[in-house]
Amino acid sequence: MLAAKIDDTYAEAFKSIYVELLITARDRTWVEHAVNAATGHGSSTIMCDCEAGLDRYVGPGGDESFQTPDGRPGAVVQMHLPRFRKDRVEALEKAALARISQNVLTTPTAACFNLIDSDTYYHMGRKVAYFGNGFQTREERYGRKVWV
């Protein structure tokens, strides 16, 4: 394998708003599929709906100091939009909703949990639940109300 030389000469950062979520699945393979799907085309807010990336793997097979609500392997994912965007709040909700409903929850065995404990949050549960095709139910699991 060829070694690549990297000149560490430039970096940029912007203040942003973000969502942080936990993706879990039956095993690490399915977690990785969901993470790859959810973070794809998310390297820049230029021509992407948001910046999206993996923070870390958690639970069994990952950082075991962070236990997942359902006891399965998981990954912490973040999605960001810069604060300078005037429509940042609405745009981030739309991007997160699309990525969760179209990429995470279409992955076999995957589940998704909000990780930000805040009084202000996106009310996505019912919107995502429509993908249950009428078979979805609201239940209490893992100490929180969830759509199943």
Give the containing element (helix H, strand E) for 3: none
Q: How many domains does the chain have?
A: 1
- Residue 71 falls inside a structural domain: yes
Q: Across-strand partners of 22?
A: 76, 113
Please choose, from the candidates 43, 53, 69, the residue with its C-alpha nearest in 3D space to the C-alpha of residue 18: 53
For 123-136, write each residue's pLDDT tens digit. Answer: 888 888 877 777 88
Containing structural domain, residue 25:
16-147
Going by pLDDT thresholds of 50, 70 and 90, the confidence category of residue 104 is very high
- Residue 4 falls inside a structural domain: no
- Residue 5 falls inside a structural domain: no
Going by pLDDT thresholds of 50, 70 and 90, the confidence category of residue 1 is low
Instruction: Please give the pLDDT value at position 83.
Output: 92
Domain CATH number, residue 51 = 3.30.70.520
